[in-house]
Structure 1
Amino acid sequence: MRSSHFGLVVLAAVLWGTGGVAGALLADHSDVPAVSVAMWRMVIAGVALTLLLAVTRRLSPRSLSAPMVRRILLTGALTALFEVLYFGAVALAGVSLATLATIGSAPLWVAVADAVVGRTRPAPRTVAALALALAGLVALLGGSIDAGNAALAGVGVALAAGAAFASLTFANRRPVPGLGAVRLTALSFSAGGVMLVPVALIGGWGVPHGVGGWGYALALGIVSTACAYVAYLTGLVTVPPFVATIVTLLEPLVAAVLGALVLSESIGPWGIAGGAALACAIILLRPQRDGAEAPAVTPYDGSGFPSRQE
């Protein structure tokens, strides 16, 4: 795991954290429903990156191979599914509980996939970091959780959203030759945005209006989405999926800090303690030195004990 790639995953989590504020400002300014916010962020991200590739003459649609097309469609579909499920969970269970269940479950889903597909299990240091991060996440969000009658259903949808994000991460753990992160994000988000159009039409259509509305939409699509996913997918080149999903737990911390600064929301002492725990977890995960640290997962032979590394 390279320090530079780990830093990109951290950057992605920070940029995703800005999306909550940008999305809230967009919804308030232009009265855009949550599903339409998800659609616009994907469409704007995809179009912006596609234009960048076209201007720099790196789009080359004719050079797309069958494996590239499959990865593009899979990434776009999983991202669109994640967005729909997450906002559905928010509608049922509230922002805090939905975020806690979605982001908190993603590393666990990846661990299950590693065990089933790769026959590997997390290293002790990584498990300790996950426990610390989850404790911090509960402290950060626990005080604002309002469990209503639909909370149980919302948690179920949020767990499905966490599985979708884990699948997105796991599917992109190995890059397709010739398909860089910018090109993948551009084409997959364009495809995913189109997939969300009929969902937005059913769930509530909304269009940003005015300079302010489009400013928030562009910030959400370009900064909080396009740049974030390019950084994340680039970081996955050497950062294991389990570690990457733990790092994404930084997102609600950044969102909470920005909410306090921009929207005058309160964090409180438990939130501060939770933020400190999340920060400590990220420090625990950081590479000790490039290319020489213990693997984030340990192979095992099914007997219940780690298999020997030759």
Structure 2
Amino acid sequence: MRFAGVGLVMLAAICWGISGGIADILMTRGWDPIVISFYRGAVGFICFFAWFLFRFRQNWFASARLYIWSLLAGVGVAGNFTFYFLSIQASSVAVAATLMYTAPVFVLLISFLLRIERSTWFKWGCISGVLMGIVLLTGAYNTDSISVSFLGAAAGLTAGLSYALFIFGFKNASSIGKPQTSLTIAFFSFCLILFLFTDKGETAAVVTSSDIGWFLLLGIVGAGISFIFYVMGIRRTTPATASMVAMVEPVTASLFGVLLIGDHLSIMQLLGMLLILFTVTVLSVKQSD
């Protein structure tokens, strides 16, 4: 069952990586990142709400704890998307991605403090391997080609903390009620929060644009399908393991860029990709044992 949980989280991360490539296509066409994020969550919310209504009586569950954890998960997703884009604007994609993927460190520290998990050298080794792979993959080690501002660093770390928040939010919500309920509540709060920050004119223009198909695909793959996999998977594994396995996302995004957008990977980037995949594979095998 643990291996099934790891597999589902990995499928979710692959979908997130693909959605990153789709978002990159939309940004090159001039769309605002916050508008792209809003539609990603809004289309996902429609999918989850339809799933929730399909079996309303079975899915309806009145619990204050379920609502609170689901709302916190939604806040975490909104914060993760928003601060990630702010970090990109203030520094660079390499720095933003590297700082956001420090989330496993935050998750593991919180898990130790709350006594959800025991601290082991194996877990710290996995985190170190993943972070080293992210640095190599994003090129953040090259200090000559990147610039880091205080705002960029702060926003990137806050994106990582937000990532940790939605992991714990979904973990606790899914242990109380049905995934349909927790996802619907979480993404409803996500839409309300991001709507406050979107350009209303550009948001309305999406509906009649020729790129509407890309926005729908982004929402279905990047939220509708991926978060169903994620919530079902995190019920079968620990928060720290889920956060580390989800690091296959940047690998998928990089492969998407190579295969469909025409990007090129250096030797260092390939080494980083292999290091991430190796670490996640070792962790998956350990979990299944």
Q: TM over 0.5: same fold?
A: yes
CA root-mean-square deviation: 2.5
- What are structure 2's unaligned runs of at least 5 residues? none
After TM superposition, the structure 1 = structure 2 runs for residues 58-69 of structure 1, keeping only pairs within 5 Å, are: 58=56, 63-69=61-67
Alignment partner of 1:6 is 2:3 = no
Moved more, 172-181 or 63-72: 172-181
Alignment partner of 1:106 is 2:103 = yes
Matched with 1:41 is: 40
Matched with 1:247 is: 245
Matched with 1:304 is: none
After TM superposition, the structure 1 = structure 2 runs for residues 1-310 of structure 1, keeping only pairs within 5 Å, are: 2-29=2-29, 31-54=30-53, 56-58=54-56, 63-103=61-101, 105-118=102-115, 120-142=117-139, 146-148=145-147, 151-176=149-174, 179-201=177-199, 205=203, 207-208=205-206, 212-288=210-286, 290=288, 293=289
Q: Is the 8 A contact 1:26 1:208 kept in 2?
A: no
Letter aligned with residue 35 of structure 1: I
Aligned mates of 1:263, 1:210 — CA distance in 2: 25
Higher-Rg member (1/2): 1
Q: How far did residue 276 of structure 1 move? A: 0.8
Aligned mates of 2:204, 2:156 — CA distance in 1: 24
Q: Is the partner of 2:197 in helix, strand or coil?
A: helix
Question: Scaled by the length of structure 1, what TM-score is found?
Answer: 0.84
Q: Is the partner of 1:173 in helix, strand or coil?
A: helix
Q: How far did residue 98 of structure 1 move? A: 0.2
Q: Choose between structure 1 and 2: higher helix proportion.
A: 2
When residues 12 and 62 of structure 1 are mapped into structure 2, their CA distance, relative to the original with a 3 A threshold, is: closer
Q: Is the 8 A contact 1:40 1:217 kept in 2?
A: yes
Q: How far did residue 125 of structure 1 move? A: 2.1
When residues 274 and 206 of structure 1 are mapped into structure 2, their CA distance, relative to the original with a 3 A threshold, is: farther
Question: Scaled by the length of structure 2, what TM-score is found?
Answer: 0.90
Moved more, 202-211 or 126-135: 202-211
When residues 284 and 3 of structure 1 are mapped into structure 2, their CA distance, relative to the original with a 3 A threshold, is: same
Aligned mates of 1:185, 1:133 — CA distance in 2: 28
Q: Is the 8 A contact 2:66 2:177 kept in 1?
A: yes
State the percentage of identical aligned residues. Answer: 21
Aligned mates of 2:205, 2:240 — CA distance in 1: 37
Q: Is the partner of 2:177 in helix, strand or coil?
A: coil
Aligned mates of 2:183, 2:198 — CA distance in 1: 21
Q: How far did residue 61 of structure 1 move? A: 7.8
Aligned mates of 1:206, 1:265 — CA distance in 2: 32
1:105-133 CA-partner distances (Å, limit 9, x unpaired): 10111122122222744322222222222
1:210-233 CA-partner distances (Å, limit 9, x unpaired): 574111111111111221112112
Q: How far did residue 174 of structure 1 move? A: 3.2
